[in-house]
């Protein structure tokens, strides 16, 4: 893809054999040196173990941290010579690191990155690239994907080119008259609006005892209540902050500090309510994980990459809830899928 589609002067690869050989070298480094200990740490601290009620094995963590630390020492030296890992331009060698760096930054292993100044600067810069932000931004689609993975459903993902306006063309408008993604098709069922899609999916596909909704009308009414809280209270200030702190900087614009302060105050008030709620229940609507928690994933993920993460980190129950739900295997699969689509 990089060879075929690179814009002149902005290719993520080289055409010159020697230069491309150096790049290939660092692609192999990512594959054989960086990924194994990084994946091990993510396994121990994010994906499998904590989600299955297992404590990370501290010896395995220590060994993987030592290995990754050695690899990052080499990166530190390399990044003192070049702006990016293989060379002075951003290449596929950098891009390949994105998902694991993103996951590691949500674990205590981020200290390995933060303690090495050139590695830290490189990591911050590449995680802030507009293309990676777009991967994280497809939020409504991400909610639906998270539910598909939670329910272990087979599905076909049909990408829609929003930049080219495909969502406003006749064929698409026949599925969603508002011309927005996501839309969902399951034989004769055609749905739009992410919250409606995941509610139906949860009703139709929940495994006995693991449903993300309730069958009892009164219990489901509480879930519906918190779905509305996410929609009308949490999302507006969260998206405002993401717009100011992620989208604007990615487009060369400066955040409006007045808007940031106002949105932070609003989100802070909502998170105070969450903190009280999470003292009563393990998850936001209930003692079990529900669609309410799923709906928060994309915005929480984006906020954790901005200074507004302080709003989450300063509230112990909100922090623990956010860390736990962002570490669910189904969410890791969404991030992985988006990365593959991007790469």
Ligand X SMILES: N[C@@H](CCC(=O)N[C@@H](CS)C(=O)NCC(=O)O)C(=O)O
Q: Which residues bind ligand X (CB under 6 A)?
A: 138-140, 162, 167, 179-182, 193-195
d(CA 77, CA 79): 5
Which is nearer to ligand X, 168 or 310 (by Cβ)? Answer: 168
Which is nearer to ligand X, 61 or 135 (by Cβ)? Answer: 135
What's the min distance (Å) between Cβ of 162 and ligand X?
A: 5
Which is nearer to ligand X, 30 or 293 (by Cβ)? Answer: 293
Which is nearer to ligand X, 12 or 212 (by Cβ)? Answer: 212
Q: Are 90 and 84 in contact (CB under 8 A)?
A: yes
What's the min distance (Å) between Cβ of 181 and ligand X?
A: 4
Handedness of CA 112, 113, 114, 119 (dihedral sign): positive
What's the min distance (Å) between Cβ of 185 and ligand X?
A: 14
Question: Crossing angle of helices 217-229/291-303, nearest 10°?
Answer: 20
What's the min distance (Å) between Cβ of 230 and ligand X?
A: 11
Query: Going by DSSP bridges, is the β-strand pair 189-192/183-186 parallel, antiparallel, or unpaired?
Result: antiparallel
What's the min distance (Å) between Cβ of 241 and ligand X?
A: 16
What's the min distance (Å) between Cβ of 116 and ligand X?
A: 35
d(CA 246, CA 77): 29
8 φ/ψ angles, rounded to the nearest 5 degrees:
-45, 125
Which is nearer to ligand X, 122 or 184 (by Cβ)? Answer: 184
Which is nearer to ligand X, 107 or 194 (by Cβ)? Answer: 194
Q: Are 213 and 199 in contact (CB under 8 A)?
A: yes
User: Which ranges of the chain would DSSP assign to H, the alpha helix?
Assistant: 2-5, 17-29, 35-45, 58-81, 92-95, 98-104, 110-114, 117-127, 130-137, 139-150, 170-173, 194-205, 217-229, 235-242, 248-250, 257-280, 291-303, 309-313, 316-326, 329-342
Q: How many C-beta atoms lie closer than 10 Å to residue 340's C-beta?
A: 10
Which is nearer to ligand X, 63 or 180 (by Cβ)? Answer: 180
What's the min distance (Å) between Cβ of 106 and ligand X?
A: 22
SS3 call for 15: coil
């Amino acid at each position: 893809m990089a060879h075929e589609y690179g814009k002149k002067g902005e290719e993520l690869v080289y055409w010159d054999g020697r230069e491309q050989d150096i790049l290939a070298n660092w692609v192999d480094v990512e594959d054989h040196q960086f990924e194994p200990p990084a994946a091990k740490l993510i396994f121990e601290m994010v994906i499998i173990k904590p989600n299955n009620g297992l404590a990370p094995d501290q010896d395995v963590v220590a060994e993987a941290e030592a290995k990754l630390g050695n690899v990052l020492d080499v990166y530190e030296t390399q990044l003192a010579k070049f702006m990016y890992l293989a060379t002075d331009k951003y290449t596929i060698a950098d891009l390949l690191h994105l998902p694991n760096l993103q996951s590691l930054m949500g674990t205590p292993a981020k200290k390995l990155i933060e303690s090495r100044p050139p590695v830290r600067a490189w990591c911050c810069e590449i995680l802030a690239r507009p293309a990676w932000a777009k991967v994280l931004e497809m939020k409504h689609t991400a909610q639906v994907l998270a539910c598909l993975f939670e329910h272990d459903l087979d599905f076909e993902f049909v990408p829609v080119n929003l930049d080219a306006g495909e969502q406003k063309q006749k064929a698409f408008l026949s599925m969603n008259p508002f011309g927005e993604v996501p839309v969902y098709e399951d034989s004769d069922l055609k749905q739009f609006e992410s919250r409606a899609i995941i509610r139906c999916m949860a009703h139709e596909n929940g495994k006995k005892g693991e449903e993300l909704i309730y069958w009892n009308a009164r219990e489901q009414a509480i879930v519906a209540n918190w779905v509305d809280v996410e929609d009308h209270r949490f999302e507006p200030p969260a998206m405002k902050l993401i717009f100011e702190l992620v989208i604007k900087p990615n487009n060369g614009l400066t955040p409006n500090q007045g808007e940031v302060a106002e949105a932070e105050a609003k989100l802070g008030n909502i998170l105070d309510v969450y903190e009280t709620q999470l003292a009563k229940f393990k998850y936001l609507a209930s003692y079990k994980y529900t669609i309410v928690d799923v709906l928060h994933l994309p915005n929480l993920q984006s906020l954790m990459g901005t200074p507004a993460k302080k709003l989450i980190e300063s509230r112990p129950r909100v922090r623990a809830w956010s860390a736990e739900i962002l570490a669910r295997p189904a969410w890791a699969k969404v991030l992985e899928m988006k990365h593959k689509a991007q790469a």
